[in-house]
Amino acid sequence: MVELKMFSRKKNSQASVFSDMANKQKRYEVLVLALHTDIFRYACWLVKNKTVAEDIVQETFLRAWKSLDSLKDEKAAKSWLITILRRENARRFERKQFDLVDIDDVSVIDDQLSNEVEMEHKELRAIMASLSEEYREPLMLQIVFGYSGDEIAQQLNLNKNTVMTRLFRARNQVKEALDKANDNRGLKNG
């Protein structure tokens, strides 16, 4: 008689587990059906390659399945999936191992650039390097890496408004320094 009671308890707990799994499966299917197209469209825009976008979306939904219990608010599902997708895209680059070369050891000669243009580029790099770090860093992230204000804010753990203000001030400082250099150049030549 004792064995029957233990067996029936197991059966009830198994039924509960199966019920929970069925509910999770239904939630997941509804999530995929409702948002797959939008997530795939965003992935295509993000990576500019349909095949890579398909892979990232597949990984995104796999991670979503694994952590579906952490999604408490169904209204936030789209932003939750987009966050997962962006992280999956970032992981793609973490896995890549690029061959790095010290920039000082590389000599690149572009015959198209005149000496004047080369001097202007050197002057611009020097001006940007002379900016304080709080202005130089967001400016470099925007110019060199093409990051948006939101991405820079996330990268530097700053408020977006702070980033936009720093970018504005950095561009103004660079412009003022270039204007001053042009005025000085005119005095020397004239």
CATH 1.10.1740.10 in the chain, residue ranges = 15-97
Q: Which of 11-15, 39-43, 66-70, 140-144 is predicted most confidently?
A: 39-43
CATH 1.10.10.10 in the chain, residue ranges = 114-189
pTM of the model: 0.44
pLDDT for residue 2? 44
Share of the chain above pLDDT 70, in %: 81
Overall average pLDDT of the 130-149 stretch: 87
pLDDT one-digit tens code per residue, 69-124 = 888 888 888 889 999 999 999 888 877 666 777 777 777 665 665 677 777 778 88
pLDDT for residue 39? 93
Q: What is the rounded distance in angstroms from the CA atom of residue 179 to the CA atom of residue 174?
A: 9
Under CATH, what is the fold of the domain 15-97? Rna Polymerase Sigma Factor; Chain: A (1.10.1740)
Q: What is the rounded distance in angstroms from the CA atom of residue 32 to the CA atom of residue 24?
A: 12
Given a contact cutoff of 8 angstroms between Cβ atoms, the answer to whether 39 and 60 are in contact is: yes
pLDDT surpassing 90 at residue 50: yes
pLDDT for residue 187? 60
Which tokens in the block code for residue 28? 């997941």
Given a contact cutoff of 8 angstroms between Cβ atoms, the answer to whether 56 and 85 are in contact is: yes
Hey, which CATH number is domain 114-189, 1.10.10.10, 3.40.50.2300, 3.80.30.20, 3.40.50.1820? 1.10.10.10
Which tokens in the block code for residue 176? 């003022």
pLDDT for residue 188? 57
Overall average pLDDT of the 23-36 stretch: 89
pLDDT for residue 87? 92
